[in-house]
Amino acid sequence: MIPFKLNDKNVEVDVQPDMPLLWVLRDLMGLTGTKYGCGMAQCGACTVHLDGTAVRSCTLPVSAVQGKSVTTIEGLSDDGDHPLQIAWAEHKVPQCGYCQCGQIMSAAALLSSNPKPDDTAIDNAMQGNICRCGTYPRIKAAIKSVAAKKVGGAV
Amino acid sequence: MSTLQNVSRRKFLKGMGITGSALVLGAALPGWAPVWAQSNKASELNLFVAIDADGTVSIVCHRSEMGQGIRTGLPQVVADELMADWQKVKVVQGLADERYGSQNTDGSRSVRHFYQTMREMGASARTMLEQAAANRWQVPLSEVAAKDHQVWHKPSGKHAGFGELAADAAALPAPDISALSFKSKADFVYIGKDLPIVDMHDIITGQAQYGQDMRMDNMLYASIERSPVIGANIDSLDDAEARKVPGVVKVIRMPEQNIPVGFSSLPGVAVLASNTWAAMQGRKKLNISWQQSPHGEHDSAAFQQTLNKRVQEPGRVFRSVGDAYAGLANAVQTHEAQYSMPYLIHAPMEPPAATAVFNDGEVEIWSCTQNPQSIQNTVAQVLGIEKDKVTVHVTLLGGGFGRKSKADYSVEAAILAKASGQPVKVVWSREDEIRHGYYHAISAQYFQAGVDDSGRVSSWVQRTAFPSIGWTFNGTADEPSDGELSLGFGDLPFALDNLSCETQKAEGHLRIGWVRSVSNIHHGFAIGSFVDELAAKLEKPPRQMWHELLGPDRMVDPEPEGFKYSNYGDPKETFPIDTKRLKAVLDLAADKAGIEVPQKAGEAWGISVHRSFVSYVAIATKVKVEGKKVKVLEMHCAADCGTVVNPDRVKAQMEGAMIFGLSLALMGEISVKEGAVQQSNFHDYPLLRIQQCPPMQVHLIASDAPPGGVGEPGVPPVAASLANAIYRASGKRIRHLPINKHLQV
Ligand code: FES
Ligand code: FES
């Protein structure tokens, strides 16, 4: 049994310890908001937070989250009202949407460590997340809009 | 002819996820006639609109959503003509059903081919609600009008909601389409507006369901090892170790397949397990030896050289004006160039996936598909059952780009569900997607142009060679089809005295398929680059060179010149090749970008323009070249797509197309050795990342022309605009893509 905290709830899973967290979340826990895109930490579709830091769940053995806290897109906010989710809707970011949970999770980790990232900081934090549909300009604009509000103290 | 049927709708509507509806409107396409769902012969009805007693309007989207916003776009047209309140509209995804007409969501034609039908559907329902109100109030029809989800009696101010009227409306005969009145453009409240996509909330909260996300009780997850070379079946299999992997439940051999494979499954071995990871681990333990294939010798680098040589020799002439060879012989100056582009793959963010359940001779499938009817047909054929025993649900698609028009992965799921007796989800890995795709054809082009003594480019020879999509389906095609030559090559819109359009041989060695904008990708690159080369050679500004070649405003018709031009399946009268529209987008992009404004050393703009899918797009790209490194600094897109339903989604498609075009031009290459694809994942098939993405703007030309394509036409001019910018910035002309073979990107 591997115990960890998932979206603020204590859970335990009985699986092979080398099974990547991605498949534990998707196939065993039914949390399919975390996506599979490459399985080798190349695309960011599977991004979740581990103790608040963005990690690629496709290459993270579930044994490595023992006793730690995992947040997925389903646990990021109560009803899609995280400031980034609101900004994503306002900027009409998604096309197919498949990459977007991973994008939002990467962006959320960025803003919690750096509330006012410049272009380079955004590029650095987001370069592990591929969007094949091509929503990068809007992703950037959405992140910046949240960062701008943060400075004003509105969020 | 409208038909009134007498009916209980319950079972049928339940199947659509609609309950308790009163007014239900369907259509039999093409040239549809509305019918009421008043009969228990539900199978005769093809449902598009239903209105509940509580006023909820359900609108069926029969096309697949893959990021283009069609689940919003088509319903927004219906809702506008219906005068419905968008907040009360529910979008229902249509099952595979040929009575919807084509559901094959490719070719950039969802709005192009269904805009008018959707308007008729909305206007019919509105007319019936109005008639029901007029009957109820005993007033003339001319005194009532629908607005804001209600019907109003103008003189008295009486009104009734759609929901209240639905039952009465359902009892009325359907109106004659020719008698329908349509809203004028000035009265549109949704058409032409930036409505947010209906799936927004689900997407950003992780609730959206894609093909990869299907889960069912008792479901097995399948990972399939497929033959690395096309045409090779299994020689021997040892699956003992695979079966020992914890979680592995079954190992099943896929049926043999010989060329042509078409949409069938590939030969291989499926490992079925209780979760995806176990299936993937088990698969690694398979020990398979493969038979020889005639394509086991295929080497893309050698084949590229062959094609490059072939296009330098005269080929089969398929369109001709004057005498191009005499024109070149008499020219005061000539210029020639040869271009090439490797195989490419779609790489949608979501790899293919499909889930199937087989029960009592019937199969039910959930697939992220662009073409549910093709699944229905292929699965019926492969399993030897009737088509009506195959139900296909369409999930959201995590990108498609043409890959998901192919039924192969859904066929795999159906075969495995039948063989295992359990629900099966076939999960394609990224490696599977890259190695077992339907590839964009490797290609070569050659051009020679001659300038006459007036200084005008008047003679032109162009040749193209690439393996045909036809090969995938017949195993024999060895040169491009007329349909493929119609994609940005045989439709060359230039004013020339002498023209020879030719094609050369190219055999198939991989499954060739259609990738976003298809042959326009290489043709747009080659033609757009060659025009810029001519401009440089003749020392003319690129904009002027394009204007001279495009010539006077006119409609270009390649047919009298011997070419059976397919025009994207649309009539040339409604959708002509209009040089005025080409020049308009060219000028708009050039002006917005300011391509003639002097730039810093090492920086420059490049431009190109291309018509495809009956839309017109120009792209201007600015780059900086420093030593061996190129950086894209800024892009502008000008597009004329005719009437636009949702401008924001059109802009998003153009943004996506610019990024798709940059990916393939900068880094796109699938190479093949000994018949097998060499790449496997994003580390060796890289896609554009955020730090490589320039700021970009899209400028739409306002137009009342009928809607043109949107999803694909933004791609073809990108590679040329980029290569042209690199030349202008550095003097380096890149004729062989991708650019990262020449410069660091
Ligand atoms: S699936 Fe984990 S980074 Fe791509
Ligand atoms: S929105 Fe489709 S991959 Fe990003």
Which domain-ending residue is among B204, B226, B248? B204
Q: What CATH number is attached to the domain comprising B177?
A: 3.30.365.10
Contacts of B371 by beta carbon, 8 Å cutoff, 6+ apart: B64, B103, B104, B105, B106, B404, B405, B406, B407
B340 and B460 housed in the same domain: yes
Q: Are B152 and B144 in contact (CB under 8 A)?
A: yes
d(CA B68, CA B64): 9
Q: Are B461 and B544 in contact (CB under 8 A)?
A: no
B603 and B503 housed in the same domain: yes
How many domains does the structure of chain B reveal? Answer: 3
Residue B22: its pLDDT value, please? 61
B498 and B532 housed in the same domain: yes
Q: Which of A16, A23, A94 sits opposite B203 (nearest CB)?
A: A94
- Determine if the peptide bond prior to B175 is cis (ω within 30°): no
Residue B340 lies in a domain: yes
Using the mean position of ligand 1's atoms as its centre, give its distance from the Cα of residue A56 in Å.
6
Give the residue extent of every domain in chain A: 2-76, 83-149
Confidence check: pLDDT of B15 > 70:
no
Residue of chain A whose Cα is closest to the Cα of B711: A133
B701 and B652 housed in the same domain: yes
Q: Quote the Cα angle for B131-B137-B142, to 5°.
A: 50
Q: Are B563 and B319 in contact (CB under 8 A)?
A: yes
The tokens for B605 are 């703009």
Q: Does residue A44 have its Cβ closer than 6 Å to ligand 1? A: yes
Query: Over the stretch B433-463, which tens digit does the pLDDT of each residue have?
Result: 999 999 999 999 999 999 999 999 999 999 9
Which CATH code, of 1.10.10.10, 3.30.1490.20, 3.40.309.10, 1.10.150.120, is assigned to A83-149?
1.10.150.120
B197 and B77 housed in the same domain: yes
Beta-carbon separation of A134 and B206 below 8 A: no
Indicate which of A16, A18, A19, A27 best probes the interface with B, i.e. most B CBs within 10 Å of its own CB: A27
Residue B369 lies in a domain: yes
Report the first-to-last Cα separation within chain A, whole angstroms. Answer: 39
Beta-carbon separation of B205 and A33 below 8 A: yes
Q: A4-8, B123-127, B167-171 — which one is most confidently predicted on average?
A: A4-8
Using the mean position of ligand 1's atoms as its centre, give its distance from the Cα of residue B486 in Å.
39
Q: Atom 3, ligand 1: which residue's CA is nearest? A: A41
Q: Are B45 and B25 in contact (CB under 8 A)?
A: no
B651 and B726 housed in the same domain: yes
Residue B588 lies in a domain: yes
Ligand nearest to the CA of A103: 2
Within 6 A (CB) of ligand 2 lie A 94-100, 131-133, 135; B 67, 349, 399
**Going along chain A, which residue ranges are E strands?**
2-6, 9-13, 47-50, 53-56, 69-71
Chain B residues close to A28, C-beta within 8 Å: 275
Residue B387 lies in a domain: yes
What one-letter code names the amino acid at B362?
E
Query: Over the stretch B265-290, which tens digit does the pLDDT of each residue have?
Result: 999 999 999 999 999 999 999 999 99
B19 and B85 housed in the same domain: yes
Residue B175: its pLDDT value, please? 84
Confidence check: pLDDT of B381 > 70:
yes
Beta-carbon separation of A33 and B207 below 8 A: yes
Confidence check: pLDDT of B14 > 90:
no
B113 and B258 housed in the same domain: no
Q: Does residue A43 have its Cβ closer than 6 Å to ligand 1? A: yes
Taking only residues 1 to 60 of chain A, the set having a beta carbon closer than 8 angstroms to any beta carbon of chain B reads 16, 19-20, 23, 26-28, 30-40, 42-43, 45
Beta-carbon separation of A23 and B277 below 8 A: yes
Question: Which 8-state DSSP code applies to residue B229?
Answer: S
CATH topology of domain A2-76: Ubiquitin-like (UB roll) (3.10.20)
Residue B305 lies in a domain: no
Q: Which of B194, B399, B691 sits opposite A98 (nearest CB)?
A: B399
Residue B30: its pLDDT value, please? 38
Confidence check: pLDDT of B5 > 60:
no
Range of the domain at B14: 3-204
The packing angle between helices A83-90 and A100-113, to 10°, is: 130
Using the mean position of ligand 1's atoms as its centre, give its distance from the Cα of residue B269 in Å.
25
Residue B306 lies in a domain: no
Which domain-ending residue is among B180, B204, B228? B204
What does residue B524 show for φ and ψ, rounded to 5 degrees?
A: -65, -40
Chain A residues close to B682, C-beta within 8 Å: 38, 40, 42-43, 130
Contacts of B191 by beta carbon, 8 Å cutoff, 6+ apart: B76, B77, B80, B185, B645
Which domain-ending residue is among B381, B397, B427? B427
Confidence check: pLDDT of B183 > 80:
yes
Q: Which helix or strand (DSSP H or E) is residue B353 part of?
A: strand B353-359
Candidate from A42, A72, A106, A126 with most ligand 1 atoms within 8 A of CB, to mutate = A42
Residue B673 lies in a domain: yes
Query: Over the stretch B213-270, which tens digit does the pLDDT of each residue have?
Result: 999 999 999 999 999 999 999 999 999 999 999 999 999 999 999 999 999 999 999 9
